[in-house]
Amino acid sequence: MRKLLARLTRLSALVPLTLALAAPFASATVVTFDDLGDDGLVPANYGGLDWSASSWFQFSGEQSPYTAHSGDRRATLGFDGSSATSAIGFLAPSVFNGAWFAGFQGVNVAIDLYFGGALVASTATLGLGETPAFLDSGYGGFVDRIVFRSNDPAFFVMDDLTFTAAVPEPASGALALGGLAVAVMVVRRRKAALNGADEAANDANATARNA
C-alpha cells in the first residue's frame, strides 16, 4: 500500500509536464515589433516572450543594410550585445519556427535552442546581407529559451520572429488532475482503514491476554 501511494505521488508531479507535451498548439505567433510606438528596448513580456534578460532594441526608419522583413520596425542587439544578452525566453513551452535577419555582408548568426536548461538543438549558421533571409530553427520539439550567436552581434537586425505555443485544454487538465487526486484519496483512506483495523485487532489481543 505504501509503495502504491508513493507511486501515485510521483505521478502527480509529472502531470504538468505530461499536459504540456500532450497539449494542442495555438496558431503561430509572429513578433513583428510594428505595434511598438517608440524606439527603445523591447518590453519585458512583449509578444508572449520574455525579453527581460536581453538587450534587444527595436527601432524604425530606413537604415541600410538593416532591412526590416515586414513593416518598418526590427530589433538589434546593438554595440553592447553578446550571446549573454541575447537570450529570449518563452512564457510557455513552444515550438520555435525561426526569424528573419539582415545585416552587413560577412556577418553571420546562429541560434541555440534550450528546454529545461538543456541545449536541445542549434540552427545552421546564416550569412547575412541587405536582403532579409529566414533562419529556420530546423527543430520541431519544445523550447523555453533561445540564445543567439554571431561573429559580430552589433551589425545585424532581426524581424518577424515566429513561434507556436502549446495551449493546454482546461477540461483535459482538470480531468487528469481530478482523477489522480481521487486515486490518491482512495488509497489513503484504505491505508487508514487498514491501520485502524490493525489497531483494533491489537487491542482485542491485548484484552484477551489480560483477561
What is the reported pTM? 0.70
Query: Are 130 and 196 contained in the same domain?
Result: no
| Predicted pLDDT of residue 96 | 98
Query: Are 79 and 176 contained in the same domain?
Result: no
Find cell 487498514 and name the residue.
194
Query: Are 71 and 113 contained in the same domain?
Result: yes
| Predicted pLDDT of residue 19 | 45
Query: Are 92 and 135 contained in the same domain?
Result: yes
Find cell 483512506 and name the residue.
189
| Predicted pLDDT of residue 201 | 54
Name residues whose C-beta falls within 8 Å of residue 50's C-beta, 6 or more positions apart in sequence.
44, 88, 89, 90, 91
Cβ atoms of 115 and 93 closer than 8 Å: yes
Could you give the CA distance from residue 147 to residue 134 in angstroms, rounded to a whole number?
A: 16
Q: Encode pLDDT of 127-169 as tens digits.
A: 999 999 999 999 999 999 999 999 999 999 999 999 999 876 5
190: helix, coil or strand? helix
Residues of the domain holding 46: 25-165
Q: Name residues of the chain where pLDDT drops below 70.
A: 1-26, 168-211
Query: Are 43 and 121 contained in the same domain?
Result: yes
